[in-house]
Amino acid sequence: MSTEMIKQLLEALQVSPDNVPLRLHVAQMLLQGFEYVQAEEHYRKVLELQPNNGEAQMGLARTFYQQQKYSAAVVVLEQLENQDPGNFDALLLHCRTLVKENHMNEARDIYQHLLQLNPGFRDDTLDGLFRTAQQGVSLTDMDMEDDEETERLFMLEKPDINFSDVGGMEREKKEIELKIIKPLQFPDLFKAYGKKAGGGILLYGPPGCGKTYLAKATAGQINAEFINVGIHDVLDMWIGNSEKNLHSLFEMARSNKPCVLFFDEVDALGANRTSMRNSGASHLINQFLSEMDGIAADNENVLIIGATNAPWHLDPAFRRPGRFDRIIFVEPPEQQGREEILKIHLKDKPVKDVDYASLAKASAGFSGADLKCVIDVAVEEKLMEALETGSAMPVTQKELAKAVKNHKATTREWFNAARNYALYSNEAGLYDDVLKYLNIKK
Ligand SMILES: Nc1ncnc2c1ncn2[C@@H]1O[C@H](COP(=O)(O)OP(=O)(O)OP(=O)(O)O)[C@@H](O)[C@H]1O
Ligand SMILES: [Mg+2]
């Protein structure tokens, strides 16, 4: 962003001072350019014209946050939350503000609320903070250098699972094998055909069917490092105005090759670009895309896997060649897969007389997470019994069959939404696999 451009926009504003979209745009550019005092002024002017303009309120709160006017930020954020108690962005910034002010109990409450709103939401920073708080360490001095912060936010791990821990999913595993594993094993051969190891895979499908699990197992399969990035963490980086962090994240992956860089909830980043643009995160998106393209650096052997429940919200720019150019539908396991998943998760538990085949048959539509839940319920029942009778007995078919019967598959709802997209916005056959799963003929 050039100062020249801002100058021109400011001149335009003098001509039409009541142009709210223009003023918001200017304010946002100033915010991005670290000009918080000026940005604040413009957000205030918008609010004079439109006191309930949510974007201006959010922007104002951000400028306050950046200027360390934390109580002022809280006032604005509470207004936003009164208007919409489910305003995720406001709640998240509120949470971080409270952390800065060392109000850890309140921050923890909001954090829990965030998790209720979006059970998939993870935030390593906040997790870490709460743990630190419990240990009584001071939180006042949290500012760190970019790289350090990146390392703190995103951890490298060597997964202890591989494909043998993943039940079923033969099709998914095969695709990953072809796109990710073979190119690593036979780089010369792939090079001879002008192909490089790298690029991205997008996993999509209903919740709990093993996207995250599969990504992790992929890293384990090739003995690679694994970095699990929640897109909300990346968006937080934007709040912290440290886009350099995104770069250091990719750099971290590049210097730990081979590495699987996993982006969870990637739709949050690609979602509905205009709203992202308005919230000022658009150049974060652009930076993400060019890091993915590997324009400035070599992404060879950095394997990028994205996951989403809502691929239809993802901007098509994310699907261009070299980006998430292979899209894999991760569907609920078939009977055989369900049987394997049950066996995998009951492996280390005391069981007796279990008829895996009949349990698998009775649990059509269940996700891997559903099956895990069934096992938990059955184990719990046995545990209660053991507490009462004083003798520990293995889990049997009886408890498991009962738990299966009482559990409702959690994947149905997702298919209700997916069916519509698959039928009516199935460009380039993107959702053919969903139609196939639903037995719908094109
Ligand atoms: N094929 C599978 N084999 C073994 N376990 C599985 C399988 N699929 C899912 N699970 C179990 O279910 C849990 C939930 O799966 P996971 O978190 O990977 O789902 P997800 O698709 O990422 O869901 P979400 O969309 O909610 O993020 C896993 O931690 C794993 O224990
Ligand atoms: Mg997941």
Question: Which ligand minimizes its atom distance to the CA of 119?
Answer: 1
pLDDT value at residue 190: 80
| CA distance linking residue 249 with residue 152, whole number of Å | 11
- The CATH number fitting domain 152-328, selected from 3.40.630.10, 3.30.1120.10, 3.40.50.300, 3.30.930.10: 3.40.50.300
- Mutation to probe ligand 1, out of 118, 162, 213 (largest number of atoms < 8 A from CB): 213
Does ligand 1 have an atom closer than 6 angstroms to the CB of 309? yes
Q: What is the pLDDT of residues 126-149, one digit of tens each?
A: 877 764 433 333 333 334 455 666
Q: How confident is the model at residue 241 (pLDDT cuts 50, 70, 90)?
A: low
Cα dihedral sign for 313, 151, 215, 211? negative
Dist. CA 371 → ligand 1 center (Å): 10
CATH number of this structure's domain 335-406: 1.10.8.60
Q: Which CATH fold would you assign to the domain 3-137? A: 1.25.40
One fold for both 3-137 and 152-328?
no
At 237 the pLDDT is: 60
Q: What is the H or E stretch that residue 45 is in?
A: helix 36-49
Residue 153 pLDDT more than 80? no
Torsion from C-alpha of 328, 333, 336, 338, nearest 10 degrees: 140
Q: Give the whole-angstrom CA distance, residue 278 versus residue 281.
A: 7
Which atom of ligand 1 approaches the CA of 203 most closely? 21
Cβ 201 vs Cβ 296: under 8 Å: no
| Segment holding 257, helix H or strand E | none
CA of 10 to the centre of ligand 2 (A): 44
How do the domains of the chain map onto residue ranges? 3-137, 152-328, 335-406
d(CA 217, CA 211): 10
Of ligand 1's atoms, which has the minimum distance to the CA of residue 168? 1
Looking at residues 224-231, what average pLDDT do you find? 89
Ligand 1 pocket, residue 211 CB under 6 Å: yes
CA distance 393 to 364: 28
Mean pLDDT over 71-88 rounds to: 91
Mean pLDDT on 259-270:
84
Expressed in angstroms and rounded, the spacing between residue 211 Cα and the centre of ligand 1 is 6
Q: For 418-431, write each residue's pLDDT tens digit.
A: 999 998 888 888 89
User: Where does the pLDDT of residue 199 fall: very low under 50, low under 70, confident under 90, or very high at 90 and above?
Assistant: low
Return the percentage of the chain with pLDDT > 70, whole number. Answer: 86
H-helix segments, 101-198: 104-117, 124-134, 146-153, 170-176, 182-185, 187-192
Check pocket membership of 210 for ligand 1, CB cut-off 6 A.
Answer: yes
